């Protein structure tokens, strides 16, 4: 199974909103714990180590790219 990067949600904004709302009222520590728990639940749902590794690599690349863009904008 290959990593799907296209939106699989009929209403992607609703999915984003659900994640944001799940964090409402939580402390930073609770929010981080929720994110970690959600990642583990979804990783288990995927159930494919190759897909999980691909998703991790993609997320890290996106995070690093965003960080580099932010640094360039500050210069």
Q: For the residues of 32-44, what is the DSSP string, one character each?
A: HHHHHHHHHHHHH
Classify residue 24 by its DSSP letter.
T
Q: Is residue 50 part of a domain?
A: yes
Pair 58, 5: CB distance under 8 Å: yes
In a domain, 28, yes or no: yes
Convert the pLDDT of each residue in 32-50 to its tens digit. 999 999 999 999 999 999 9
pTM assigned to the model:
0.78
Instruction: State the total domains in the chain.
Output: 1
| Rounded distance between C-alpha atoms, residue 25 and residue 69, angstroms | 30
Which residues form the domain of 25? 12-73
Inside any domain, residue 3: no
State pLDDT tens for residues 51-75.
999 999 999 999 999 988 888 888 8
Query: What size, in residues, is the chain?
Result: 75
What is the sign, positive or negative, of the torsion defined by CA atoms of 47, 50, 55, 56? positive
| 1 domain residue, yes or no | no
């Amino acid at each position: 199974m290959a990593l799907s990067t296209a939106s699989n949600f009929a209403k992607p904004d609703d999915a984003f909103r659900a994640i944001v709302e799940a964090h409402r009222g939580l402390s930073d520590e609770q929010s981080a714990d929720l994110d970690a728990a959600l990642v583990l639940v979804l990783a288990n749902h995927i159930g494919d180590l190759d897909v999980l590794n691909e998703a991790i690599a993609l997320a890290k690349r996106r995070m690093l790219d965003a960080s580099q863009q932010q640094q360039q904008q500050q210069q």
